[in-house]
């Protein structure tokens, strides 16, 4: 039986904007209040996804969230017609309106944590939506995320969906952005690495002092239990608090893994050598490639600025690995030099491909942020909602859909435009028909 690692990329939503909502995310803060281009953002994401499909990868798309989120605005006391709710929120609490218009679900690395069937006791793929409690604009996502995942992976014989963790900072969970998986082959039992920023129940444990640690050890342990993972196929690693304070808000900004390769910065983790030894032991003597990028070659500042580690490492059909990097990496001499070097190091990584995803980068998310990885058997791929898998026809249809419904420019003040509600809902209603998702949004119920 064939085995794959599928990538499910988030479609950028119609309200893609730069409101600077993500404290601790340097790119998000630096570009706050700039004008965005939702149409260009969606097309950049689609182009990157289609390129991977053309390389022979299994590539899917996940629908965006409903925005503006009038349901949440009503929950917090704004009443009246849709236009009145929007108008009142814009006048009385513009920061709350901005949170309810965020298109941050485009970064599906934060959508959920996924454990493939090779790792779980019941032989199913397990999904737990991230609760994202650290940021208001993201904390309103999990229920709809769960709906979209259930409509995409919609066969209960193969897929097990869990409710998101309790909505409390003790269980702060940011999804696959703090999780990676090492394995010999995608269909073999693997080793799941959970990276956390702090222990919530231990006030004396190390944690960052400037920016929040969004993932807790307690959340990672809970997901391992839910997903029926054994101790021997789980490793819990603490992210270095000092790099969190330098803008490394998720592990996937400082490390990324694929099959038997772990690509990470010298300063990424706490107690690095001990954890590498644990990984070696639990990998049962199979060949591993640890690629440690020294600070002397790439600084933390350059790593964050270019998202060197927020790249995708994929295994091509010919068995070679390739790095999918943003063009920002090309434009930084130190990072570009390092990527030219990494393909010569004798590891499985032999290629680097660059893609323009600047609309996403300017809001704090690179290529790896845009995708959720799901290791799957051929039968499991066939059990997915086939209308969500990218091919030539769906690519053309989604591009036409974006052209029809998306704006070329969106400023933060445009979020108060009642017409944006109509445009967004019309677009999403049509999308659910294109992708055969059923009623996944609040406005459809």
Residues known to be catalytic: 174, 250, 369
The 3-class secondary structure across 262-288, one letter per residue, is: EEEECCCECCHHHHHHHHHHHCCCCCC
User: Which of 100, 97, 148, 107 minimizes the C-alpha distance to 12?
Assistant: 107
DSSP labels for 83-136?
HHHHHHHHHH-HHHHHHTT--GGG-GGGTEEEE-TTTSTTSSEEEEE---TTSH
End-to-end CA distance of the chain, in Å? 40
Per residue, what are the HEC states of 127-167?
A: EEECCCCCCHHHHCCHHHHHHHHHHHCCCCCCEEECCCCCC
Cis bond upstream, residue 5 (ω within 30): no
Q: What span, in angstroms and rounded, lies between the C-alpha atoms of 190 and 163?
A: 24
Distance between CA atoms of residues 161 and 355, nearest Å: 32
Alpha-carbon distances, residue 175 vs 133, 251, 336 (angstroms): 11, 10, 29
> Dihedrals φ, ψ of 110, to 5°?
-95, 0
Rounded distance, CA 283 to CA 266, Å? 21
51: number of Cβ within 10 Å: 14
Q: Are 152 and 167 in contact (CB under 8 A)?
A: no
Measured at the alpha carbon of residue 363, what is the angle toward residues 375 and 270, in degrees to the nearest 5?
60
């Amino acid at each position: 039986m064939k085995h794959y690692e599928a990538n499910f990329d988030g479609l950028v939503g119609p309200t893609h904007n730069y409101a600077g909502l993500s404290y601790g995310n340097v790119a998000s803060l630096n570009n706050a209040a700039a004008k965005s281009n939702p149409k260009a953002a969606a097309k950049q994401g689609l182009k990157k996804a289609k390129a991977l499909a053309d390389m022979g990868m299994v590539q899917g798309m996940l629908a965006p969230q409903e925005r503006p989120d009038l349901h949440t605005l009503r929950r917090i006391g704004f009443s009246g017609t849709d236009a009145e709710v929007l108008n009142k929120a814009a006048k009385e609490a513009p920061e709350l309106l901005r949170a309810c218009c965020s298109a941050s679900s485009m970064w599906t690395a934060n959508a959920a944590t996924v454990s493939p069937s090779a790792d779980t006791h019941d032989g199913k793929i397990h999904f737990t939506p991230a609760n994202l409690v650290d940021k208001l604009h993201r904390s309103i996502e999990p229920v709809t995320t769960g709906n979209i995942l259930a409509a995409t992976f919609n066969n209960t014989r193969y897929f097990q969906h869990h409710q998101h963790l309790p909505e409390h900072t003790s269980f702060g969970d940011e999804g696959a952005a703090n999780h990676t998986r090492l394995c010999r082959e995608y269909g073999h039992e693997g080793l799941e690495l959970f990276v956390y920023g702090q222990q919530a129940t231990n006030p004396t444990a190390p944690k960052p002092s400037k920016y929040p640690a969004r993932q807790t050890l307690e959340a990672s342990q809970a997901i391992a239990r839910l997903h029926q993972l054994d101790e021997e196929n789980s490793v819990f690693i603490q992210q270095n608090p000092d790099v969190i304070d330098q803008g490394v808000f998720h592990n996937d900004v400082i490390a990324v893994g694929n099959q038997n390769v772990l690509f990470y910065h010298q300063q990424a983790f706490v107690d690095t050598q001990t954890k590498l030894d644990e990984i070696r032991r639990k990998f049962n003597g199979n060949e591993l490639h640890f690629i440690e990028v020294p600070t002397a070659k790439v600084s933390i500042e350059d790593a964050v600025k270019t998202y060197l580690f927020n790249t995708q490492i994929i295994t091509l059909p010919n068995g070679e690995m390739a790095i999918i990097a943003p063009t920002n990496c090309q434009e930084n001499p130190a990072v570009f030099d390092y990527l030219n070097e990494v393909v010569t190091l004798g590891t499985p990584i032999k290629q680097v491909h660059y893609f323009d995803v600047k609309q996403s980068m300017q809001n704090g998310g690179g290529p790896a942020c845009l995708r959720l990885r799901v290791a799957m058997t051929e039968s499991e791929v066939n059990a997915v909602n086939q209308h969500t898998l990218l091919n030539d026809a769906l690519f053309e249809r989604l591009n036409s859909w974006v052209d029809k419904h998306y704006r070329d420019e969106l400023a933060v003040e445009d979020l108060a435009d009642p017409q944006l509600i109509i445009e967004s809902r019309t677009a999403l209603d049509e999308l659910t028909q294109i992708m055969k998702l059923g009623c996944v949004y609040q406005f459809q119920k």
